[in-house]
Structure 1
Amino acid sequence: MTSTDLIAALEARVVAAERLAQRAYDRGAVENVFSKYMHLHNVFEDEQIKPLWVKKGTAGIHAQYTNVGVYTDYDSVMAYHSGRPSPAGKLILHETTTPLIEVAEDGKTAKGFWLMAGVESGLSDPANVGTMPEFLYEPEDKNVDGKRVWTHWVWCQYALDFLKQDGEWKIWHFRCLEVTRAPFSENWITFANKNQIAFDKIADVYSPNRARKLDVPLPSPYKTFADVEEY
């Protein structure tokens, strides 16, 4: 091998190493964006969540929160994050885990998939209880200060697409798919049997009457976003 060939080979290795390092850095940056989202979501700081999204005018922005309600433009997504109720006594603690993140070879987009286990709870004025099924609440002998108590375990999947804009990773597509939940005083099997009517059309929601399967494909290595299915 001539010195010219050796230099060319070394330069190629440096370029490949730089690309690999950039993708590793981008993977960490993507994970940080979603982690920041979840920490802010847990304390109802939605005004700080808004800048984590792609900028207004970005084509294709959409979000799905739990198994109902799809928001298909920037304004509706921002409206969801405006004035989210956070009364005294309400607790949201969603803990995400098992991240599976793939950054595209071209470095322009990324896909991420997470599992979440958490709790949701709060107090309701008895006058408002009739708007929701009775089985969502704890028994009346568990009332606190005359208010009905709702305390739920909840398990979800999060599937997100990210877009790099102006050198920063932003949330582009967002899907939260609730797998199952259960009140504190009940197990998830009997509760799912009662609550299945709410989620009959979602394949991945747990039911005692069907086998589990993924509702969305897991991220896998890809070159450009045109090669994959969007979340």
Structure 2
Amino acid sequence: METARQTLRAGRKPLGYSPDALPEYAPVVQDAVDFEPDEEQPTPELAALQRRITALEDVWAIENLMSRHEYLHAAGLNEEELDTCFALSQADLSFEPEDWGVWEGAEAIRLCYVDGAPPVGLGMMTEHDTSTALVVVADAGRTAKGVWMWPGHETFASPDGDSHVFWSWGRYGVDFVKENGRWKFWHFYIYTTFRTPFGTSWVDSALGPRMFDLAEGETPPGMTPPTLGVTDNAPYHPSRAPRLLPDPPRRYPDVLRDGLLHPAAGVVTAPEDSRSSGCPCHVREAARKGLASRRACRRRGRADPSVMPHGRPAPSAAVSLSKSPCP
């Protein structure tokens, strides 16, 4: 079969060629075969290929959604982001920005992320560049999980006219749900790696007083308090060993219960992998039932024995599908 390059070298233009209407690398339309779609049911091989293509398109759409978050947030368009990127119809929609706490439900998140956001003005700049994406779409294609690391920088102008400049690095752990064919944020968690003034090392900042004079779980003045306390946030400290936070997702099924979607806990479909899939909604459940013990463990420098980062239950706490802790 003649290739597009051979066709053009021979001085012939492929069928459908138009230099004004087609991009530089437009596909060549072959006129040798008239293709008509088969009205019959696809073969198992074709159905499997269609599922693989859909999964790839889903991953691409999710990565685009995360990029849209970064662009809108950098421009201070938090309200537009909330209205277009979050699954506002989900009753258990949640948002946890670093060490402030968890806001649950669309209206609570609006009070935090829109009404409580720093005012956008002269000299302000916040950019967080997502990298190291790892996205897993559920077998049924209705939910997905993703984690990212991000380097960033921030500039805030104070009333006295001075600019406060920071290096800000962190990580995302996000659950997604598909609504009307579009992927949306479902459970959105932000974890701190470090935040330090420009010109100061993150080691010195970790050993010094907390930035912005806010204790863990304390919100800026005027912001509506969170629904739940801080679930898990482990910024860099020279006395702390690295942690797998958030836990990278693995293949998992979807579960439909009482008309709502819930990722399964402790259930996997890959026979070679018996580990839990991980789900931030488990973190929320732990926050409700054992926040005091979690904080006690953190003060003693120990990991919570029942809940692992990004909602992954410890092996002893793995549960079956019928006992999913998701609300």
Give TM-score, length-normalised by structure 2.
0.58
**RMSD, aligned α-carbons:** 2.1
Q: Which residue of 2 aligns with 1:94?
A: 128
The 2-side partners of 1:209 and 1:70 are apart by 26
Question: Displacement, 1:80?
Answer: 2.6
User: Given the alignment of the two structures, is residue 213 of structure 1 paired with residue 251 of structure 2, yes or no?
Assistant: no
User: Given the alignment of the two structures, is residue 168 of structure 1 paired with residue 182 of structure 2, yes or no?
Assistant: yes
Question: Displacement, 1:184?
Answer: 0.6
| Count of residues in correspondence between the two structures | 202
Contact in 2 for aligned 1:44/1:86 (Cα 8 Å): yes
Question: Displacement, 1:216?
Answer: 2.9
Indicate which of 59, 69, 74 corresponds to 2:106. 74
The 2-side partners of 1:64 and 1:20 are apart by 32
Matched residue SS, 1:33 = helix
Runs (5+) with no aligned partner, structure 2: 1-41, 218-229, 255-262, 266-276, 281-327
Structure 2 letter corresponding to 1:21 = I
The 1-side partners of 2:96 and 2:233 are apart by 15
Question: Displacement, 1:72?
Answer: 1.1
- 1:66-122 deviations in whole A, cap 9, x for unaligned? 221310111111223324311211111111111000000100100010001010112
Contact in 1 for aligned 2:249/2:278 (Cα 8 Å): no
Q: Which residue of 2 aligns with 1:53?
A: 86
Report which of the two structures shows the higher radius of gyration computed on alpha carbons. Answer: 2
The 1-side partners of 2:164 and 2:87 are apart by 34
Structure with more strand by fraction:
1
Matched residue SS, 1:18 = helix
Contact in 2 for aligned 1:49/1:81 (Cα 8 Å): no
The 2-side partners of 1:207 and 1:11 are apart by 56
Q: Which residue of 1 aligns with 2:201?
A: 187
Indicate which of 245, 249, 253 corresponds to 1:223. 253
Structure 1 runs of 4+ with >6 Å offset = none
Structure 1 letter corresponding to 2:197 = P
- 1:12-31 deviations in whole A, cap 9, x for unaligned? 11111111111111110111
Runs (5+) with no aligned partner, structure 1: 1-9, 127-146
Give TM-score, length-normalised by structure 1.
0.81
The 1-side partners of 2:62 and 2:233 are apart by 27
Matched residue SS, 1:218 = coil
Indicate which of 165, 168, 171 corresponds to 1:154. 168
Q: Which residue of 1 aligns with 2:306?
A: none
The 1-side partners of 2:237 and 2:145 are apart by 28
Structure 1 letter corresponding to 2:252 = Y
Structure with more helix by fraction:
1
User: Given the alignment of the two structures, is residue 124 of structure 1 paired with residue 158 of structure 2, yes or no?
Assistant: yes
Q: Which residue of 2 aligns with 1:108?
A: 142
Q: Which residue of 2 aligns with 1:131?
A: none
